[in-house]
């Protein structure tokens, strides 16, 4: 089974019954492997967005505790690559979290990125390869 790397959007949609993508995210979670990978920047973003939506950030930590969500990104070892990606996509502009996820996709070559962010349709890993995505919009 492919490694799934999750962005903040699907996490918020999954955990917030008010989110318009809640049904889609819930359906996708049934197809996901037993653990999905992410980075600390995405967890921070998801917690903030949930709080802004009136939800508790504890829901994110419950996914970590359950073993479904695993933060596995070493910024200390990857900061140069992340910085290069952000400079390369400065016209978008690329967020720090997005750059970390693209870098994670370069490290985990057999992966998909689970996202609601259309920018991932523009980003390329290794500057030329399209990113395999799980999204609600046609690719």
Q: Look at residue 91 and tell me if it is in a domain.
A: yes
3-class DSSP assignment, residue 130 = strand
Q: How are beta strands 111-114 and 133-134 bridged, if at all?
A: parallel
For tokens 């400079």, the residue is 87
Q: Which domain holds residue 14?
A: 3-134
| Dist CA 24 CA 118 (whole Å) | 16
For residue 57, how far is the Cα from the chain centroid? Answer: 16
Cα-Cα-Cα-Cα dihedral sign, residues 59, 62, 66, 67: positive
Given this model, what pLDDT does residue 139 score? 59
Given this model, what pLDDT does residue 14 score? 98
Q: Give mean pLDDT in consecutive 10-residue pieces for the chain, a chain of 139 residues.
A: 95 96 97 97 98 95 98 97 97 96 97 97 96 90
Domain count, the chain: 1
Given this model, what pLDDT does residue 78 score? 98
Given this model, what pLDDT does residue 1 score? 77
For the entire predicted model, the pTM comes to: 0.96
| Dist CA 133 CA 110 (whole Å) | 12
Pick the closest to residue 95 from 72, 120, 76, 127 (CA basis). 120
Q: Look at residue 80 and tell me if it is in a domain.
A: yes
The enclosing domain of 71 has a CATH number of 3.40.50.1010
Strand partners, 111: 3
Task: Fill in the DSSP letter of residue 70.
Answer: E
Q: Look at residue 139 and tell me if it is in a domain.
A: no
Given this model, what pLDDT does residue 138 score? 80
For residue 58, how far is the Cα from the chain centroid? Answer: 18
Distances (CA, A) of 32 to 1, 74, 77, 90: 9, 23, 28, 31
The set of residues, in sequence order, having a beta carbon less than 8 Å from that of 66 and lying 6+ positions away, is: none
């Amino acid at each position: 089974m492919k490694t799934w790397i999750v962005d903040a959007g699907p996490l918020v949609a999954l955990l917030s019954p008010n989110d318009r993508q809640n049904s889609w995210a819930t359906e996708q979670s049934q197809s996901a492997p037993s653990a999905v990978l992410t980075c600390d920047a995405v967890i921070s973003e998801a917690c903030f967005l949930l709080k802004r939506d009136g939800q508790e950030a504890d829901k994110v930590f419950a996914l970590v505790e359950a073993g479904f969500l695993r933060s596995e990104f070493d910024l200390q070892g990857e900061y140069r690559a992340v910085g290069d990606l952000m400079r390369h996509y400065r016209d978008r502009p690329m967020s720090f979290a997005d750059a970390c996820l693209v870098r994670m996709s370069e490290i985990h070559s057999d992966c998909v990125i689970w996202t609601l962010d259309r920018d991932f349709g523009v980003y390329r890993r290794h500057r030329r390869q399209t990113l395999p995505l799980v999204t609600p919009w046609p690719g």
